[in-house]
């Protein structure tokens, strides 16, 4: 007679598929996930949301899906405000995943939204560790792309990186973008609602140039993706012999001044080939866990009610004057009206929010800014001057 311990039962179950959703700051990851949550049908999901910046906003936005109350029982959302998820100094990822494994019977699929400044490789590697591998299997890695920004050349050309000069904001952005694409199985062209056919073809060509071995390229109109194109792809289930990893020679070694982020690509000669399901060996995905210290986020707050038009102008100007790539948060206007602020570069949207969408409702205005060496003082001064209210 055999006696099953709870642990035996845990290990006897098939591993839970995990989809990693990556993409640069503001590409539309959270919006896309929101669409997938709505289209989940009978799937029971666990979502881990990793944001760069001390205030978690995306988790609140996801919880505010139209069927929020109903969804709560079958969609578990966990904010991950602890730096970059699964990176070297992150002590929270493995325990959070083990807690999910312990609830195996209630979860069909795990979705992990990485911060816009993270590479998916850290999660991919952690999933293959001895402690997580028995419980989880990588389903696919999706990279969401802000297509108009890519077509406008805003993600630049990483090859112009200097070996001994610190990277500029543009180079740091280009390096992060290129690496996120490189490690993706599926690239999702997002924000394409206003694009013409020839622009979509251009975008596809650009992605194929940057990341020739991406397996699928999907179009997401208004951040909507067919759930069958996102979940259950099983691209990493072991099928040895059909997949090869090849290495190109390291092009050059970094100089002593070179930053960590900018140099990751130089160390990485990895490329994919083969179209069958494949697995990623630990040794095939070398990456540096450290984050480029040039990426900074800060929070500014104001107690005074804001005027919508003045604030929009001020935020647009701040993104032009300083290397600010992302702004988000909630602000309070006269009459207790609350606005959700979503800024990607100098494109700033302000939308009225219902109270249930805003966990901080009733409190002061609070905005998170993310940029490459941005000056907090300059942004605070500019906002204070242009809105006529104190921001600090």
Interface residues with ligand GTP (CB under 6 A)?
23, 25-31, 51, 58, 116, 190-191, 193, 222-223, 326, 342, 344, 349
By beta-carbon proximity to ligand GTP, the closer residue of 38 and 384 is 38
Cα separation, 330 vs 222, whole angstroms? 22
Cα separation, 328 vs 326, whole angstroms? 7
Least Å distance between CB 256 and ligand GTP? 31
By beta-carbon proximity to ligand GTP, the closer residue of 27 and 100 is 27
Q: DSSP 3-state helix, strand, coil percentages of the chain (rounded to 5)?
A: 35, 25, 45
By beta-carbon proximity to ligand GTP, the closer residue of 65 and 389 is 65
**Segments in the chain forming alpha helices (H):** 6-12, 29-38, 58-63, 68-72, 93-102, 121-127, 147-151, 169-182, 197-210, 260-267, 308-321, 376-387
Least Å distance between CB 177 and ligand GTP? 12
Contact 22, 29 (CB under 8 A): yes
Cα separation, 125 vs 128, whole angstroms? 5
By beta-carbon proximity to ligand GTP, the closer residue of 278 and 326 is 326
Least Å distance between CB 194 and ligand GTP? 7
By beta-carbon proximity to ligand GTP, the closer residue of 27 and 142 is 27
By beta-carbon proximity to ligand GTP, the closer residue of 193 and 390 is 193
DSSP 243: -
171-to-174, 183, 239 alpha-carbon distances in Å: 5, 19, 37
Specify the 3-state DSSP secondary structure of 263: helix
Q: Where in 225-375 does DSSP place strands (E)?
A: 244-247, 270-273, 295-302, 324-332, 338-344, 347-352, 365-372
Least Å distance between CB 237 and ligand GTP? 28
By beta-carbon proximity to ligand GTP, the closer residue of 185 and 280 is 185
Specify the 3-state DSSP secondary structure of 335: helix
Please, what is the Cα angle at 314 between 310 and 317, to 5 degrees? 140
Contact 323, 376 (CB under 8 A): no
* Residue 387: closest CA among 323, 341, 324: 341
Least Å distance between CB 134 and ligand GTP? 30
Least Å distance between CB 222 and ligand GTP? 5
Least Å distance between CB 37 and ligand GTP? 12
Length of the chain: 392
> Position of tokens 């979940």?
231
Least Å distance between CB 28 and ligand GTP? 3
By beta-carbon proximity to ligand GTP, the closer residue of 101 and 225 is 225
Contact 59, 77 (CB under 8 A): yes
Least Å distance between CB 173 and ligand GTP? 12
By beta-carbon proximity to ligand GTP, the closer residue of 28 and 120 is 28
Cα separation, 62 vs 109, whole angstroms? 16
């Amino acid at each position: 007679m055999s006696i099953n311990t709870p642990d035996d039962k845990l290990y006897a179950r098939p591993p839970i598929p995990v989809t990693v959703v990556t993409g640069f700051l503001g590409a539309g990851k959270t919006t896309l996930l929101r669409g997938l949550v709505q289209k989940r049908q009978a799937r029971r999901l666990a979502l881990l949301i990793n944001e760069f910046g001390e205030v978690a906003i995306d988790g609140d936005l996801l919880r505010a899906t139209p069927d929020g109350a109903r969804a709560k029982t079958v969609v578990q959302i966990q904010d991950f405000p602890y730096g970059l998820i699964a990176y070297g100094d992150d002590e929270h990822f493995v325990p959070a995943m083990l807690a999910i494994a312990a609830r195996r019977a209630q979860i069909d699929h795990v979705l992990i939204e990485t911060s816009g400044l993270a590479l998916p490789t850290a999660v991919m590697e952690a999933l293959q560790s001895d402690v997580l591998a028995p419980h989880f299997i990588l389903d696919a890695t999706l990279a969401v792309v802000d297509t108009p920004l890519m077509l406008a050349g805003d993600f630049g050309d990483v090859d112009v990186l200097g070996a001994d000069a610190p990277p500029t904001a543009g180079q740091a952005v280009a390096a992060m973008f290129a690496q996120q694409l490189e490690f993706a199985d599926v690239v999702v062209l997002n924000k394409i609602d206003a694009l013409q056919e020839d622009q979509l073809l251009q975008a596809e060509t650009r992605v194929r140039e940057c990341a020739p071995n991406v397996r699928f390229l999907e179009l997401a109109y208004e951040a909507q993706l067919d759930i069958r194109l996102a979940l259950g792809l099983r691209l990493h289930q072991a099928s040895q012999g059909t997949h090869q990893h090849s290495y190109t020679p390291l092009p050059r070694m970094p100089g002593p001044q070179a930053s960590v982020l900018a140099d990751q690509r130089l160390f990485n000669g990895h490329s994919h080939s083969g179209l069958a399901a494949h697995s990623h060996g630990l040794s095939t995905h070398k990456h540096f866990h450290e984050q480029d210290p040039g990426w900074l986020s800060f929070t500014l707050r104001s107690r005074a009610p804001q005027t919508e038009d003045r604030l929009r102008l001020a935020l647009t100007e701040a993104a032009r004057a300083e290397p600010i790539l992302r702004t988000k948060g909630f602000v309070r206007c006269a009459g207790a009206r609350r606005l959700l602020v979503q800024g990607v570069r100098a494109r700033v949207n302000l939308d009225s929010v219902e109270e249930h969408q805003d966990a901080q409702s009733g409190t002061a205005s609070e905005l998170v800014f993310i940029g490459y060496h941005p000056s907090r003082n300059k942004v605070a001064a500019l906002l204070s001057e242009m809105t006529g209210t104190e921001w600090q």
